[in-house]
A and B are shown apart, each in its own frame.
Chain A
Amino acid sequence: MTAAVLEIDDALATYDPVLGLEVHVELNTRSKMFCGCPTEFGAPPNTQTCPVCLGLPGALPVVNARAVESAIKIGLALNCEIAEWCRFARKNYFYPDMPKNFQTSQYDEPIAYNGWTEVVVDGETYRIEIERAHMEEDTGKSTHIGGATGRIHGASHSLVDYNRAGIPLIEIVTKTIEVPGEKAAAVARAYVSMLRDLLFSLGVSDVRMDQGSLRCDANVSLKPSGSTTLGTRTETKNVNSFRSVERAVTYEITRQAAVLSSGGKVLQETRHWHEDTGITTSGREKSDADDYRYFPEPDLVPVAPSREWVEEVRATLPEAPSLRRARLQQEWGFTDLEMRDVVNGNALEPIVATVELGVTAAAAKKWWLGELARAANESGQELDALGVGAAEVAEVQKLVDEGTLNDKLARQVFEGLLAGEGTPAEIIEKRGLALVSDDSALIAAIERAIAANPDVVEKVNSGKPAAAGALIGAVMKDMRGQADAAKVRQLLNEKLGI
């Protein structure tokens, strides 16, 4: 299964990669694109179907207005023009899980076109031109039974689930992307990741790559360095994670480079991505002669969104994620590196929520990124699956601010929270974690420390007040950490007359 590849550096020394990315987004509308069937994920097979999405003889589609609104939102968020008048077309081809054997899609008249967006990679901003965003319907889902690989090859029979058939899809197509070769794969990943955040912020999709609600097809071609003639492209289908997008693009660059440098020809074809082995394999050979026999869908009247409506939708758009991030970074006073850690740690939203409860950004970041993200990482969980929310974090920080907890004790409270031991108050109670605020107990401990460390006292008295740190440490140890260090220092200073 291994194919000859060049090292990426060697590949990029000779060839410039050109990318084109097609992202399919399943919208989270409650009903399907052309009928009233529900769209819930994971329902028993073929329970969410009707004559329309099953393509039964006589059934007719009707456009879902909410899906059109979502398409407009996406178009606007990608700085596209929104068509004043557009149509659906039929894309005719055969597939057993496509009920009508044509897909109702948009062809030469998409709802949104000519847009752009930006992604940031290593502090560098790259502009991505958007060709179009168009509406279409999803197909059913085939499961091939009896083969070793789950693919149709070798299977004894196939089962088809039409629950997914007719779920609204938006296909977002970039123009060709030419970025410095060594950044190509990272830009591809950053673009898909940016789209995920954008679509999430718009509320139009669940953007779950693992459930297929966000799917990326990566087109890659190579041209000799400095050349302006585009090479033959391959289309790697349905890459299903950000990391895989980056790996698949890198793999295709190295594979195509190997083919070209050995005098071969890159075939125009679709390719399958293999997550486990990290390679692509040949799928269907695809030529420009593919004839879908597009023509305007006669069962649907044209879609003509009024300008008023488009403006209403524009007014509801949330702040773009990239702008929002820049604003928050400034408000919080984080460095670029800090902000990137926060984003990569998926801690942005929890920190926003915690700050909204009155906690400083620095403190919120300390707990979410330092304590909780680490715990999530260790247990292989998502941050939002830990069972600790912004409210708990804010409460712990409040106790720190009041002097009931110090950082060390607070960490133990988080430990308790992660173990499901109850509320912060209950954990403090159960574990006996509160700071000792009784002065006489502290003074007694200080006296013990002074008695046990005459040499240190000597140093302090001889004009080296910094040496008192050792005494504070001894007191804290004596108090098993449950003392307010500032208070101890104050009392010690009084005692020693500093």
Chain B
Amino acid sequence: MSVFVIRRLMQAIFVVFLMSVIVFFGVNIVGDPVYMLVSPDADQADIEAAIRRLGLDRPIWEQYLLFLKGAAQGNLGDSFIFGEPALKLILHHMPATLELAFSALMMAIVIGIPLGLYSGLYPDNVVSKGIMAGSILGFSLPTFWVGLMMILLFAVELGWLPSTGRGDTASVFGIQTSLATWDGLTHIMLPALNLALLKISLAIRLTRAGVREAMSQDYVKYARAKGVSTQRIIFVHVMKNIMIPVVTVMGLEFGSLIGFSVVTETIFAWPGMGKLLIDAILQLDRPVVVAYLMIMVLFFVVINLVVDILYSILDPRVRLQDQGA
């Protein structure tokens, strides 16, 4: 057991290290940040001073070693344009993204699962077909277009919801969140729905497939024959079984919600880390891009590590196979 965990841990560290090389060199060969930063009025001496100040006059491998040295001390470098530690900037923008991703996930579950259940139970019904057609749209329409349409409809035409921004926040356990105020909630509705659309479709399809499969299983037939009520069959027996894959997939999708929030945050001017990343990419704020990608890598590596370890505890065969390989 411990050997397995140690080996997985080593693998994880290796992956993080490898990614740091790819990310750092990848980001640092694109473009020239100096011209994005200095005032156009700057003369040659100013430009050279800026290059030195940013450390861009050093060879790239030296920059990488400096980055590694800093990273070992928990410092992922200072943002070129804000002059503040990149890590601090990202952590500052993280709550806004997390609450957006969390709200979107909730929407996917609250809207997607009941709709999927309905269309799974009555697959030939017109409403079910409508739901399925809708879920195809959810998969295939581009997020930015849907986002703009939602703004046009709900904010401009109907005037029900605000178009952009985060609104008032209130402090919950020391973290500022929009979810705690009414104004904040109205602001998060549209971006969260926009971000959730794809996941809602996913939840509908997963649930529907699960329900349809389960309904023809022997245990359902047996329960029916025993005279168990339909309600109890669906909500206790069927749901319990199909929820396992749905919850697993939704949990994994949470990571991609954070990653995909980039587009939504840009359209709705949502001050999260996705918007920070996009701005950083456009302005070649390399330290922020590198720090963001490294945090994401770490995030996914940790999730995978935890999942693997949990599996190995739950299912000894995973461990055996791993040793055999």
Are A and B genuine complex partners? Answer: no
A residues contacting B by CB (< 8 A) are: none
B residues contacting A by CB (< 8 A) are: none
